[in-house]
Amino acid sequence: MSGKITSYLDCVSPYSYFALLHLERNREKLKSHNVEINIVPVFLGGINVGSGNKPPWTLPAKAAYSKYDSERAKRYFRVPNIKTPEFFPILSLLPQRALVYIKEAHAQDFTKIFLDIFHAMWENGLDVSKPEVLEQILAKHFSESEAKNILEKANSAPYKQRLNDSTKEALDRGAFGCPWHLVRNSEGVEEPFFGSDRFHFMWEFLGLPWQDQALEQAKARAKF
């Protein structure tokens, strides 16, 4: 049994946060089945424009529903402190470009820093699109000089282009939002999965052993 999950994520998307948390919590189990995880930073704004999609908060019906869905997701993924910051949405280009460089130059720290950026924005209410805020987050993992170097790389032409390339790759693979997952099973067949609530379908597609949600029978009440 083997396979690969390629997940296209953006820090501006709370559902990308949920997806990354869930994948990380299951990383060792997936590894035991020879399933590889590849996290790819992308620019969700570019995916929306390229696919013709619109953010849910711009559509009244979706905006009204999202408050229920987000509360359920917060409970399920065990991140009760998530809240939408006042400055939302952000232009996520800087942190996403920085993550592209970090994945290349500091692969061992990549996922941890991605989660820290999510945590800073969605739980601590910090605007990670601001260079000084992002530098503070990076300084927890790197020296002051390397944190500044990462910001410089994020603003350089090569890493601007690489984020563009990964965003186009996601679009070419059918993406219309984030999180977007491309899953390849042991037979080499690939299928797309959208969102943070399709993992049971992904496990099924990969042929992994998993347990479905089971509804229990009501217990009989004692009669007096």
Kindly state the tokens that stand for 99. Answer: 């993550």
Q: What is the per-residue pLDDT across 133-179, written as a single tens digit (0 to 9) for each? A: 999 999 999 999 999 999 999 999 999 999 999 999 999 999 999 99
Q: Do 100 and 9 touch, CB atoms closer than 8 A? A: no
Q: What percent of the chain clears pLDDT 90, i.e. is strictly above it?
A: 88
For residue 23, being part of any structural domain is answered with yes
Any idea which residues carry the catalytic annotation?
Answer: 13
Predicted local confidence at residue 52, as pLDDT? 94
Number of domains forming the structure of the chain:
1
pTM of the model: 0.93
Q: Taking the alpha carbons of 199, 205, 210, 213 in that order, is the dihedral positive or negative?
A: positive
Angle at CA 165, nearest 5°, toward 195 and 34?
A: 55
For residue 86, being part of any structural domain is answered with yes
For residue 222, being part of any structural domain is answered with no
Checking DSSP bridges between strand 3-9 and strand 180-184, what pairing results, if any? antiparallel
Predicted local confidence at residue 220, as pLDDT? 75
Predicted local confidence at residue 32, as pLDDT? 97
Q: Do 120 and 98 touch, CB atoms closer than 8 A? A: no
For residue 24, being part of any structural domain is answered with yes
For residue 213, being part of any structural domain is answered with no
For residue 223, pLDDT over 90 is answered with no
- For the chain, what is the mean pLDDT? 95
Kindly state the tokens that stand for 185. Answer: 């099973």
For residue 158, being part of any structural domain is answered with yes
For residue 222, pLDDT over 70 is answered with no
For residue 212, pLDDT over 70 is answered with yes
Q: What is the extent of the structural domain holding 128?
A: 3-206
Q: What is the per-residue pLDDT across 20-34, written as a single tens digit (0 to 9) for each? A: 999 999 999 999 999
For residue 220, being part of any structural domain is answered with no
For residue 73, being part of any structural domain is answered with yes
Better-predicted residue by pLDDT, 154 or 212:
154
Which residue do the tokens 């099924």 mark? 204
Angle at CA 66, nearest 5°, toward 73 and 97?
A: 75
CATH number of the domain that residue 133 is part of? 3.40.30.10
Which among 172, 129, 177, 178 is positioned nearest to 151, based on CA atoms?
129
For residue 55, pLDDT over 90 is answered with no
Which among 87, 99, 86, 97 is positioned nearest to 20, based on CA atoms?
99
